[in-house]
Chain A
Amino acid sequence: MSYGSGYGYGQQQQGGYGQAPPQQQGVDPNWLSGIFQRIDVDRSGSISGNELQAALSNGTWTPFNPETVRLMIGMFDRDNSGTINFQEFMSLWKYVTEWQNCFRSYDRDNSGSIDRNELKTALTGFGYRLSDRFYDILIKKFDRQGRGTVAFDDFVQCAVVLQTLTSSFRAFDTDQDGWIQISYEQFLTLVFSLRS
């Protein structure tokens, strides 16, 4: 379903929660199990936020964005244990891989991070129609390295937040004209309930 009208909501892509592009070949579960075990450093049988953070790379030699880690755990922790078991990990791994592919495809100059123009191309590709000023805000908010570019972990966070917010907006925009009437408390509640 596409919302390609003037205000550009962003397309609803397959894959459910996130906007990761769909394609996926089969993956050898044994191989994946090996990866899981390497990540599960304390051999607890499931992966914690810290273990996941340590295992992920954002290409900047700094720790992976903890908010992105929390987001992902929140998405895939089906049994609400606070950790990721192997079943959950298989889905998470697939999700991360799809995002990596997506990121690489938009990092045209292979710099390892996405600059403002590449970000605009990416988000426009996802179906968003946003002003230049808005991209200023995005970079300011999500660029944790302070270089005016977005690393992989920040890129994922940005995209997921955009999608979550857009869904919230859509829920209010019953006539779909890109405008909503919102009360003080509805507005507060909406932002306060945002998961990172």
Chain B
Amino acid sequence: NFRKMAYQGYGGPPGVYSSGSGYGALPAGFAPAGYSGQSYQLGLAGYSQLPTIDPQVQQWFMSVDTDRSGRITAQELQRALVNTNWTQFNEETCRLMIGMFDKDFSGTIDLYEFQALWHYIQQWKQTFDRYDNNRSGSIEGPELQQAFMTMGYNVSAQFVQTVVIKFDHYGRRSLTLDNFIQACVMLKSLTDAFRQRDTSMTGYVRMSYEEFMSLAILYKP
């Protein structure tokens, strides 16, 4: 459903999530392509204007939505992304990507969410390329921290080390693009979830045991 996307998007008005609490907002120019100028503000009553669908995106979507249900699963998403010329994302990453949007736990996303996801991936790739200075196909700790900062996440070098350790599958202390994307998916989902609960914007949340467990399980790698 379109309305539930209202509070998902990166681009709140600049300054709403200013770096005081450490979340960072995306700099204004970073809104996913095609969404700038669209209003995705919180919970307005009527619809905001639906974004236009890129015909190419629609083609990718429909090529895997074989039962024409209008929704695709993680497995279908995996196929769709291969068709767009991405090297294969593992299924767990695709599940996490669906989780970015999937409020009702259906395990599926619709065409608009797919397009939004596609735009996020494009943005993340651009960021990756920007920081892969030597074109090695991977980025290291300090570059990674800068990349996260650019995306609006004000995180410490120590946290970045945690990410590198977690995703560095080749022992090279760096992240390849696929790993970087997976890290971005998790970072976004966790930040959104945390932000939602930090209503007074203190950078701290009081959480019950079950709430903590639910969040960690939902968004864990």
A190 and B204 contact, CB distance less than 8 A? no
Instruction: Kindly state whether residue B206 has any CB partner on chain A within 8 Å.
Output: yes
Q: A146 vs B105: C-alpha distance in the bound complex, in angstroms?
A: 12
The segment from B6-14, B61-69, B173-181, B207-215 that touches chain A is B207-215
Enumerate chain B residues within 8 angstroms of A165, measured Cβ to Cβ: 212-213, 216-217
B205's partner among A162, A182, A192 (CB-CB below 8 A) is A182
Instruction: Kindly state whether residue B87 has any CB partner on chain A within 8 Å.
Output: no
Enumerate chain A residues within 8 angstroms of B218, measured Cβ to Cβ: 137, 141
Rounded to whole Å, the gap between the CB of A7 and the closest CB of chain B is 5
A166 and B159 contact, CB distance less than 8 A? no
Instruction: Kindly state whether residue A90 has any CB partner on chain B within 8 Å.
Output: no
Which A146-196 residues sit within 8 Å CB-CB of chain B?
A: 146, 161-162, 165-166, 168-169, 173, 178-185, 187-194, 196
Enumerate chain B residues within 8 angstroms of A166, measured Cβ to Cβ: 209, 213
Enumerate chain A residues within 8 angstroms of B198, measured Cβ to Cβ: 184
The segment from B28-36, B46-54, B135-143, B186-194 that touches chain A is B186-194
B212 and A134 contact, CB distance less than 8 A? no
B214 and A192 contact, CB distance less than 8 A? no
Q: Decide yes or no: A194 and B216 within 8 Å by CB, A140-B105, A184-B21, A184-B194 being known contacts.
A: yes
Enumerate chain A residues within 8 angstroms of B221, measured Cβ to Cβ: 191-192, 194, 196
B217's partner among A7, A67, A141 (CB-CB below 8 A) is A141
| CB-based nearest A residue for B92 | A67
A161 and B159 contact, CB distance less than 8 A? no
B213 and A169 contact, CB distance less than 8 A? yes
Enumerate chain B residues within 8 angstroms of A181, measured Cβ to Cβ: 204-206
B186 and A191 contact, CB distance less than 8 A? yes
Instruction: Kindly state whether residue B103 has any CB partner on chain A within 8 Å.
Output: no
B162 and A193 contact, CB distance less than 8 A? yes
Enumerate chain B residues within 8 angstroms of A138, measured Cβ to Cβ: 217
Q: How large is the interface on B (under 10, 10 to 19, 20 to 34, 35 or more residues)?
A: 35 or more
Q: How large is the interface on A (under 10, 10 to 19, 20 to 34, 35 or more residues)?
A: 35 or more
Question: Beta-carbon contacts of B139-173 to A below 8 Å, as 1s and 0s?
Answer: 00000000000000001101100110010000000
Q: A194 vs B213: C-alpha distance in the bound complex, in angstroms?
A: 12
Enumerate chain A residues within 8 angstroms of B209, measured Cβ to Cβ: 7, 9, 166, 169, 173, 178-179
A185's partner among B159, B206, B210 (CB-CB below 8 A) is B159
Rounded to whole Å, the gap between the CB of A169 and the closest CB of chain B is 5
B207 and A179 contact, CB distance less than 8 A? yes
Q: A155 vs B212: C-alpha distance in the bound complex, in angstroms?
A: 20
| CB-based nearest B residue for A9 | B209
Q: A179 vs B213: C-alpha distance in the bound complex, in angstroms?
A: 12
Rounded to whole Å, the gap between the CB of B94 and the closest CB of chain A is 13
Q: A67 vs B23: C-alpha distance in the bound complex, in angstroms?
A: 30
Which residue numbers of B lie inside 8 Å of A, CB to CB?
21-23, 92, 105, 107, 155-156, 158-159, 162-163, 166, 183, 186-187, 190-191, 194, 198, 203-210, 212-221
The 7 A-B residue pairs whose C-beta atoms are closest, nearest first, are A7-B209, A178-B209, A194-B220, A140-B105, A191-B216, A184-B203, A165-B216
Which residue numbers of A lie inside 8 Å of B, CB to CB?
7, 9, 67, 130-131, 133-134, 136-138, 140-141, 146, 161-162, 165-166, 168-169, 173, 178-185, 187-194, 196
A–B complex contacts, Cβ < 8 Å, 28 sampled:
A7-B208, A7-B209, A9-B209, A130-B210, A134-B213, A140-B105, A141-B217, A165-B217, A166-B213, A178-B209, A179-B206, A179-B207, A182-B205, A182-B207, A184-B23, A184-B191, A184-B198, A184-B204, A185-B159, A187-B194, A187-B215, A188-B155, A188-B191, A191-B215, A192-B159, A192-B162, A192-B183, A194-B216
